[in-house]
Every structure is written in C-alpha cells, then in structure tokens.
Amino acid sequence: MSDFEISSYSPQDDADALALEAQCVQGTSLRLKFRRPNFGARSELYENHRIYCARRGAELIGIIAGALKDVKLHGTTVRALYIYDLRVHPAHRRMGVGKRLTDVLIKDLGRDADCLYTLINGENNKALALACRNFAPQAVIPLTYCLIPVYKKRKEQANWKSETAKNVHDAFLKRKKSLEFLSVFNEVKLAGHVMSLELKGQARAGCSIWTNEELLAEQVTRIPFRLKVVRVLSRLLKPVIKFPHIPAKDEIMPSWFLFDLHAEDVRSLRSLLAAVNNQALARGRTYLYILFQDTDPLLQQMRDAGLRHFTFPYRFLARGRAFPRKSDCIYIDIRDL
C-alpha cells in the first residue's frame, strides 16, 4: 500500500508546485529548469484540463497535468489526451509516484479518450527509456528541434507583412494537405502568440511566432565546460567577430518558437527566416526554435538554407484505440511545447 495520496491541484498548492519544479532539472550537459508565474498558467491554454498532486504527508512530491482535445485522425475526429508536466521530486523517484499520477489522470480525464500521447526530449536516453517503459507507446514518431541563434541582422530578400494567426494557419493547411492529428485552431487560447507574418509577392512563405516567457520560461542551471570557453572567447572577440549568444548560469533564455511554418522553396524559407531573425534581434530574443517531424521536407530545406543552427532529437509517443502511424505527417500543437 502506498504512503502517498493523490488529490486535485488547487491554487493553494501553487507555492509547493513551483518549489517542486525547481528541483526537477531538465537536460544533460546543458541543464534547464522552468520558471512560471504559477503552475497552472500553462494548462489554462486548454479548454479541458486537469492537474493532480501527490503528497506524502504535508510534502508535495509529484505533480502531473493533462489536456483533452479533439483531433482529426485518419478521416475521423477522435478524443486525444495530452499528458505533460509530470514532475517527481528526486528523493521520491522509483517509488511508483509517476505511474500512480499517470494512472489517476488517465482514469479520470482520459476515460473517454481514444488516444493518449506525450512529447519527450529524445536526447535524454534515461528519461526516454523510462517513458517508454511506463507509457508503453504503440507509436514513437521521431522529431527534430532546430535552434537558430539570433545574433546579427540578416539581409531581407523579400518584403513581408503582418498577418493574423488564423490566416497563416489556413495558408499552412493549404500547403500541408495530408496532415493528421490536427486539433481545432482557437486564437483565443493562443496566449503566447507574439505575431504572424507572410512574405509579399511571389515568394509564398509564412509563420507564426510564440513565446513561453510568461508561461514556461527556461532558466539555465548548468552550462557545459565547452560552452563556458566559447562564452569567454565571444566576449573577448566581440569587437571583431559576432558570436551566437551563450547564456550564463541562472539566465532566462529569451527565445521564440515558430509554428505553422510553410515555405515554397529554400529561397523563400531563407527570406522568411531573415525577417523573423531581424524582428527577434530587435526585441532582444537570442534563439529561434522550430520543431520538425523527421520526414518533413522543410527539415531538409532548413539544412539547405545555409543558416547556422543546432539540432536535438525529440519524440512523440502515443497509444490507445486510435493513434498516428509512424508514416503519418502529424501536426504539433504549439500549446504542447
């Protein structure tokens, strides 16, 4: 019999939840932790969500969140439960806390779900192995995160215009006709939306921009030695050479996420990213994040565009009565990131 209790999250749990978050560092060589105004802020992006807490006595030792939504999959609408924000205090791991929290969430919010899914950093082999063991996915779809450093102004090859997020989303869908796992687009719930833009003229390309700064900001807790060396060199050579920004310990990462990204060809993609880069530079952002499915032709176009960028693997895990196949082209909801 377990000696911890599971209960629904309430605002009174917030201070303990944020303290737990601070104990749960993400990553390996470069380590990050999340900073939020309150633990529930991210979940408010979803129409139907739940958060559960695990307590051992008065101590909050674990927490989990889930959001239920409709998605289009293989010609029909199915109910999908996204499982996220699972945190277990390091001193209480390997005791079944995470599994019990997941089971309670699925039994409650996921009882009518056709599909259960989650996203995880594929660079952390231990966390991925644990997720595969506990979650038992029936599909694992490889994704790749591209990180583009913003550190100098780029020449814009085409003019651009501001657009609504809905118009950019519709243009994206016209180019991606075979998308699966597409959720209902609701601009009201896009609390992290910064701006949307499209190129003018014949070069058809566009994207929307998102920030987690007020929802789930990333704070650096550890920098690998090689990056410390680069940071020192970049400061010494700054008058001569422009380097990508290397964050300091405890620094909040000022970054933008791009979504609904579409481009006709490599040239239009390069032009679009130059415009986004310059907007980011003007607003003090230091990195652009783009999540691609490994089979997305845009990932190769990104490589061909000649922009300096870094990559790391990500994974989409799913199971249930209905779930995406590995061969499907899936839509990643920006709120899930």
**How confident is the model over 185-212, as pLDDT tens digits?**
999 899 999 999 999 875 589 999 999 9
Q: What is the DSSP letter of 185?
A: P
**pLDDT reported for residue 29:** 56
pTM score: 0.90
**pLDDT reported for residue 125:** 74
Same domain (yes/no): 195, 115: no
CB of 191 closer than 8 Å to CB of 175: no
Please give the structure tokens belonging to residue 260: 């609904």
Please give the structure tokens belonging to residue 115: 């599909």
* 72-76, 109-113, 153-157, 237-241: which is most confident: 72-76
Q: Return phi, psi of residue 44, to 5°.
A: -65, -10
Structural domain range at position 122: 5-141
Among the candidates 120, 141, 162, a domain finishes at 141
In angstroms, the CA 146 to CA 275 distance is: 17
CB of 151 closer than 8 Å to CB of 286: yes
Same domain (yes/no): 9, 123: yes
pLDDT band at 23 (very low <50, low <70, confident <90, very high): confident
* 34-43, 59-68, 303-312: which is most confident: 59-68
β-sheet bridge partners, residue 291: 145
**pLDDT reported for residue 252:** 76
Strands 205-210 and 287-293: unpaired
Among the candidates 141, 171, 206, a domain finishes at 141
Give residue 133's Cα distance to chain centre.
22
In angstroms, the CA 109 to CA 65 distance is: 10
pLDDT band at 130 (very low <50, low <70, confident <90, very high): confident
The total number of structural domains that make up the chain? 2
- Residues 142-184 pLDDT 10s: 999 998 999 899 998 889 999 999 999 999 999 988 899 999 9
Using CA atoms, how far residue 281 sits from 3, 98, 277, 334, in Å, is: 51, 40, 6, 22
**pLDDT reported for residue 226:** 59
Please give the structure tokens belonging to residue 75: 């010609």
Same domain (yes/no): 134, 154: no
Residue 100 above 90 pLDDT? yes
In angstroms, the CA 113 to CA 270 distance is: 40
**pLDDT reported for residue 1:** 43
Q: Return phi, psi of residue 176, to 5°.
A: -110, 80
Same domain (yes/no): 150, 102: no
Among the candidates 76, 108, 141, a domain finishes at 141
Same domain (yes/no): 180, 318: yes
Same domain (yes/no): 91, 150: no
